[in-house]
Amino acid sequence: MPFNLDTLLLKSFAAIAETGSFSRAAEIVGRSQSAVSLQIKKLEEGLNCQLFDRSNRDIALTDKGEVFLGYARRMIELQWEAFSRLNEPEVRGEITFGVPEDFATHYLPYILASFAKHHRHVQLHVTCDLTLNLMKAFQKRDLDIILVKRDPESVKGGTKVWREPLVWVAAEYYQMKEPIPLVLSPQPCIYRARALGALDRMRKPWQIAYTSPSLAGTIAAVKAGLGVTVLPAIISNPDPVSTKG
């Protein structure tokens, strides 16, 4: 082969492909943005092709980049599979796992597929709910593991997995007005608290126009032009809704 690949290089490439951002990918892999840029340059030189289209504001995969993404994910997965097979004992039993709906929609299919492949004798029970409800269930020991959203300024305990910026999301041709109509989850919700806190600090008048406990309901209301909401940048869809910084 004309080039060598390491796990970090592959992870950096996959993180950029998934987030559309070099800076966000750098946070995920724990490297500086300049280091990640150099990694991608090295990868493109080794493959003798361009993996990302940088001509527009948004970074997108080229046709060859889309092809290589599938191979990159497979190589990362094989490395984890080999490590697990050699170093982890065969686990049996049941695990109850709690996760918010937005994480479940974007991340869970890949996570569940990987877990099932590595731990064939473990039965996984998944619960989707609001973060604070999941935390209460975890404290009551109704759930074994939870993956939740927490404020980095007040987090105590747990293990930080990644940090995801929030963005304002509205329908593509939505015309902003005041008081600002909001589409939010009911209390308790960290996104709701962040949105209201940000508007109050800017002294912007607001009103709750629509409340939905589900991500699908929130996105449907935003697409219908009922108001604006706050979502993680990685799961916000620019078409037919748009993100606002």
In the chain, where the domains are located: 7-86, 89-146, 166-244
SS3 assignment, position 180: strand
CA 222/CA 212 separation, integer angstroms: 11
Q: What string of pLDDT tens digits covers the 245 residues of the chain?
A: 556 677 888 899 998 988 888 888 888 888 898 999 998 998 888 888 999 988 777 788 999 999 999 889 888 888 877 877 777 666 678 889 998 877 777 777 777 777 777 777 788 888 888 777 888 899 899 999 888 877 766 667 777 777 777 889 998 888 888 899 999 988 878 888 889 989 999 999 999 999 988 888 888 999 999 999 998 877 665 443 444 44
Answer CATH for 7-86 from 2.40.240.10, 1.10.3720.10, 3.40.50.1980, 1.10.10.10: 1.10.10.10
Q: Are 12 and 31 in contact (CB under 8 A)?
A: yes
CATH number of 89-146: 3.40.190.10
CA 75/CA 19 separation, integer angstroms: 19
Place of tokens 């390491």: 6
> pTM for this structure?
0.54
* DSSP 8-state symbol, 183: E
Within 8 A by CB and 6+ apart from 81, the residues are 117, 118
- Fold for domain 166-244? D-Maltodextrin-Binding Protein; domain 2 (3.40.190)
Q: How many other β-carbons are positioned within 10 Å of the β-carbon of residue 77? A: 15
